[in-house]
Amino acid sequence: MFDKEQLKSIKAKKEEWDCGPVEKVCAKFPERRSVFTTISGEEVDRLYTPADVADLDYENKLGFPGEYPFTRGVQPTMYRGRLWTMRQYAGFGTARETNARYRYLLKQGQTGLSVAFDLPTQSGYDSDHPLSMGEVGKVGVAIDSIDDMRVLFDQIPLDKVTTSMTINAPATVLLAMYLALAEAQDVPYDKVGGTVQNDILKEIICRGQYIYPPLPSMRLTVDLIKYCYEYVPRWNTISISGYHIREAGSTAAQEMAFTIANGISYVQACMDAGMEIDSFGPRLSFFYNAFTNVLEEVAKFRAGRRYWAKIMKERFGAKNPRSMMMRYHVQTGGVTLTAQQPLNNVVRVALQTLATAYGGAQSLHTNSFDEALCLPTEEAVTVALRTQQIVAEESGAADSIDPLAGSYYVEAMTDRIEEEIDEYIKKIDAMGGTLKAIEEGYIQREIQDSAYRFQKEIEANERIYVGINKYTMEEPPLKNLLKVDPKQQEIETEKLKKFRAARDQEVWKSALDRLDEVSRTDENVMPAVIEAVKAKATVGEVCDVWRNIWGEYRPKEFV
Amino acid sequence: MTAKKRVKIIMAKPGLDGHDRGAKLLARVFAEAGMEVVYTGLRQTPEMIVDAALQEDADVVGLSSLSGVHNYFFPRVVQLLKEKGLDDVLVVGGGIIPEEDVAELKKAGVAAIFGPGTRTDDIIKFIEDNVSRS
Amino acid sequence: MDDLVAAVLQGSVKAMARLITLVENEDARALQIMGAIYPHTGNAYVLGITGSPGTGKSTLTDKITSILREREQTVGVIAVDPSSPFTGGALLGDRIRMQRSSGDAEVFIRSMATRGTLGGLARTTNDVVKIMDAFGKNWVIVETVGVGQDEVEIAKTADTTIVVLAPGLGDTIQSMKAGVMEIADLYVVNKADRSGADELVNEVTFRVEQDAHIRKAVWKPPVVKTIALENQGTNSLMEAIEEHRSFLRQSGKLRKNRREKTRQETLALLREEISRNVLERVLGNGRFDALIDDIVAHKKDPYTSVQEIVRTIFPEE
């Protein structure tokens, strides 16, 4: 970008400046710290100059929005055309209550729905299962059957909204219910749009909502991808998630690296199942975290986009540019929120939203300020949504594409994170792939070590967290927290009992038998799952069919 | 050299919640503080936790929950411990627990609740000060 | 304390757990406790499981326990993990992989930290085995630390010692210490679905043949292939264990081995008792420091002095 003579002169002058004025000032007034680092522990220099981006080849490394390698964004006009989708993850209690929250959010201008399921649903247990005790309707909505699904989307036309479902191990089952519901609403499959998370590897690495061993789990993942490619073309079949990896304590670069490593595994699995890279490549999507260090986050997103494009093109031979695009959803960092002085979280979320906008995300969920304390109240959810709207409409961040490109700092950081990603991918390849690296506990340990380092930094006051280790104060506890009715489980259990008694037992039984049969072959399970849920099989019953065949996964824990 | 008595602690995640960053981090920190830490992992029922406490003759049971099930699980663990005659086991908890629930949990027999942002050395000090050394 | 022992003998799990802690802490009452326990021991069959980290010892232990439970045998499990030499603390993580068995009232799992003892076991593991034995467990399974050090102590405790290997861990017989060959009553090549498993089996079998030839051994350790996670080969492993057990019984070796173990144990206790006694007396009267002064000043020599001390304590006839 700069000619050699110019660079030489800049380098020389930088050295003069370092040894001259800087040294003089530092001698009198030492800098606040001897080393400055980002929240991920990346060292940050005092000043960045063109010398730090000397080999920045604009056309190859940055290019133009909507063009390979997509560093500057995946669409030609980005937010000048359409703002990112504001999608608030919500769900609690019964399907009825959640439906009311959805309709409220749609009325407030939200453009897509996002379903949070309770933990029993996520781990494939019905509400009346012993392990569901205490969990029903707690962190999301309890869905046991097609009837619950119908209530959840009551008066919401499935061809008018897109729905993102945070569901992994039983993703096939919940998608089947959604499709069955669309059918009942007379909406053809090709008009149905949305996303299932369907990312089992990160469940095994750090989120814990797994059911089956990795191999059969991957088979379900691939079956869903394959089925949607053929019949539900607008569905995003997987949301490869770094969000939880970051929440578990990873650095920004690790978040991107391990997510891409998982992505590589899924692509490989689909190709091994005989799919063409460009058939499913365009439907892969990603899900990331955004922390408060704006510039590091922006660099992370840019580096990830560039690296993924390269992987898809060079490693997997994708031809369709859409296969090379890393499209992603972002959620602001849950672990960055403090229970102390919770209103400060509004500011954190605003900065994270800014980072997301500068980074070029396709959709965003902003956390509510009270989430370190409880499930978000309606007031807090509204502020969170308004935060996005302010950044989108008032800040100007959405008006020019990738506006931080060319910043010496951001470009240098982008390169550095990309290098780190590359090192991890090479290491994982050498170990024999992600599954092996997970089995050996390598990825888990890397994340835990980062979490540990961070905690030690906070406790040693080497890193400042407002309200935690500096600017603390006594404060009265927050009032009016959202509570879920503890009677929930009884209500759901009662409902389930009636539901089971009322269904046609023969149809139900034969649908489950058919599923069992198909699951033991190489045939795609999706059609049989759709038939089973239509025959009123519950989430737990479908999952039990597979538990019987494949057993349950017990991971090795690495502390 | 005779072995001196060491604090033995069970670290458990009751219920289906998979967020184990805090539990694992504390397991490591407790071991560094000289304790013997039995990490039981995810998806523990109160019965499993109490069984572990019984067999390991634990001094402390540490429970972590971020999914809002503390009001059900924590008192249940305390109650089962009592039923097994393990009244002297110190039960502490952490995670996302609203202030307004804390009093109720303490009344149920949970000795302390450590919310997000608690310093780990404060937790260690609490345990060392309150563990009963019979 | 007698109450505690009585309660253990009557089947109180809580009492057993507390008693183990007392013994583990080398409480002043420990010797007396073990004395009261001893008459009730000798019935359990003790299985030792050792091998490098990552070979799957805990999972195998879990599977063997399941099989024993199907046969209505009661089981005690001792899982040993290392203590940190710096902080003395320990992370005891084996229990996680044995959860199939937890919740079963007839299975008692106890984690132990080494507390500075080398050799793969804690100093008091052997006593804990006895407590579980006296409690009435039919089987006691001891899983060693498995940090790759010279873990041969287990053979002094177990009736049958299983050495677990797995392909891809750089685990070759060549790299194993000679001692391991001597303690193994049977070998398991676990994770047998990994590449290199057959080579490892061949290599071990070859070494076993060679060794049996040199030593003219009557028992030739079998090599069993397993994939413990998928429950493959675990029944054959159990058969091999049973075979070794009947071999020990029929050949009279079980009694012979146990006699030798008792001899070693008693000797060790005697040594400890003597040294404790002697030291107490020598260090108790304050004359020892004076003696050291004399030795430092070269007025006396340590060799003769020690002889003199012992002679005063144990006068000849």
- What is the per-residue pLDDT across B25-76, written as a single tens digit (0 to 9) for each? 999 999 999 999 999 988 898 999 999 999 999 999 999 998 888 998 999 9
Q: How far is CA C308 from the centre of its chain?
A: 38
Which pLDDT score, from 0 to 100, does residue B1 have? 35
The percent of residues in chain B predicted with pLDDT above 90, rounded, is 75
Chain C residue with CA closest to A441: the answer is C54
pLDDT value of position A559? 59
Q: Sign of the CA dihedral A154, A157, A162, A165?
A: positive
Every domain of chain A with CATH number 3.20.20.240 lies at 63-459
How high does pLDDT run on average in chain A?
93
**Does B4 have pLDDT greater than 70?**
no
DSSP single-letter state for residue A334: G
- Domain ranges within chain B, ordered by starting residue: 8-129
Least confident stretch, A538-552, B27-41, B107-121, C102-116 = C102-116
Torsion of CA A250, A256, A262, A267, to 10 degrees: 180
Q: What are the sequence ranges of the domains in chain C?
A: 1-40, 41-251, 265-313
**Domain A63-459, architecture per CATH:** Alpha-Beta Barrel (3.20)
Beta strands at A89-90 and B8-14: parallel, antiparallel or unpaired: unpaired
**CA separation, residue A480 to residues A108, A373, A477, B123 (Å):** 22, 11, 10, 28
Would you state the pLDDT for residue C93?
A: 85
pLDDT at A428: 97
Q: CA-CA distances (angstroms) from residue C18 to A407, B57, C127? A: 65, 6, 13
pLDDT band at B84 (very low <50, low <70, confident <90, very high): very high
- Residue B2 pLDDT class (50, 70, 90 cuts): very low
What CATH code is assigned to C41-251? 3.40.50.300
Q: Tell me the per-residue pLDDT of A308-350, one tens digit each, with 9 for 90 and over.
A: 999 999 999 999 999 999 999 999 999 999 989 999 999 999 9
Touching C: which chains, 3+ CB pairs < 8 A? A, B
Of the candidate ranges A417-431, A456-470, C69-83, C268-282, the one whose mean pLDDT is the lowest: C268-282
**Predicted confidence (pLDDT) per residue in A224-243, tens digit:** 999 999 999 999 999 999 99
Residues of chain A in contact with residue C93, where contact means CB-CB under 8 angstroms, are 557, 559
Instruction: Encode pLDDT of A153-212 as tens digits.
Output: 999 999 989 999 999 999 999 999 999 999 999 999 999 999 999 999 999 999 999 999
Interchain contact, B117 vs A135, CB within 8 Å: no
Rounded to an integer, the average pLDDT of A365-384 is: 88
Rounded Cα distance between C249 and C160, Å, is 12
Res C149: pLDDT: 59
Average pLDDT score over residue span A380-401: 96
Give the C-alpha separation, A257 to A304, whole Å.
8
pLDDT digit string, tens, across residues A66-82: 999 999 999 999 999 99
Q: What is the ipTM of this complex?
A: 0.93
> Which residue would you say has higher pLDDT here, A88 or A294?
A294
Q: Which of C58, C61, C96, C100 to mutate to test the interface with A (most CBs of A within 10 A)?
A: C96
Question: What's the pLDDT at A363?
Answer: 92
Q: pTM score, two decimals?
A: 0.88
A431: left (phi over 0), alpha (psi -120 to 50) or beta: alpha
Per-residue pLDDT reduced to its tens digit, A261-282:
999 999 999 999 999 999 999 9
CA A524, distance to chain mean position in Å, is 26
| Whole-number pLDDT of residue A375 | 74
Segment C141-162 mean pLDDT: 86
Q: If DSSP states are collapsed to H, E and C, what string results for C169-207?
A: CCCCCCCCCHHHHHHCCEEEECCCCCCCHHHHHHHHHHH
Give the per-residue pLDDT at A94: 83
Contact B91, B105 (CB under 8 A): no
CA torsion sign for A245, A248, A253, A254 is negative
Q: What is the spatial distance between Cα C131 and Cα C277, in angstroms, rounded to a whole number? A: 26
Instruction: Kindly state the average pLDDT of the residues A115-124.
Output: 95
Residue C239 CB contacts under 8 Å (≥ 6 apart), including other chains: none
- What CATH number was assigned to the domain covering residues B8-129? 3.40.50.280
pLDDT tens digits, C278-293: 888 888 877 888 899 9
Task: Kindly give the pairing relationship between strand C45-51 and strand C160-165.
Answer: parallel
C102 pLDDT above the threshold of 70: no
Rounded to a whole number of angstroms, the distance between the first and last alpha carbons of chain C is 38
Question: What would the pLDDT profile of C245-267 be if each residue is shown by its tens digit?
Answer: 999 999 999 999 999 999 999 99
pLDDT in tens, C111-122: 999 998 888 899
- C-beta of residue A213 within 8 angstroms of C-beta of residue A551: yes
Interchain CB distance below 8 Å, A451 and B21: yes
Residue of chain B with shortest Cα separation from C114? B3
- B72 to chain A: which residues are within 8 Å by CB? 133-134, 486
CB distance B116–A339 less than 8 Å?
Answer: yes
DSSP-derived secondary structure for A454-506: HHHHHHTTSS--BTTTBS----PPP-S-----TTHHHHHHHHHHHHHHHS-HH
Residue type, A478: L
Here the tokens at position C180 are 């391991």
CA distance A122 to A196: 12
Q: What is the mean pLDDT of residues A485-512?
A: 91
Chain A residue closest to B17 (CA)? A119
Condensed to tens digits (0 to 9), the pLDDT of residues C191-235 reads 998 888 999 999 889 888 888 888 777 899 999 999 988 789 999
Residue identified by tokens 């059609």 is A527
C16 versus A89: which is more confidently predicted? C16
Residue C23: Cβ within 10 Å count: 23
Of C91, C97, C99, the CB nearest to A556: C97
Contact list, A557 vs chain C (CB under 8 Å):
93, 96
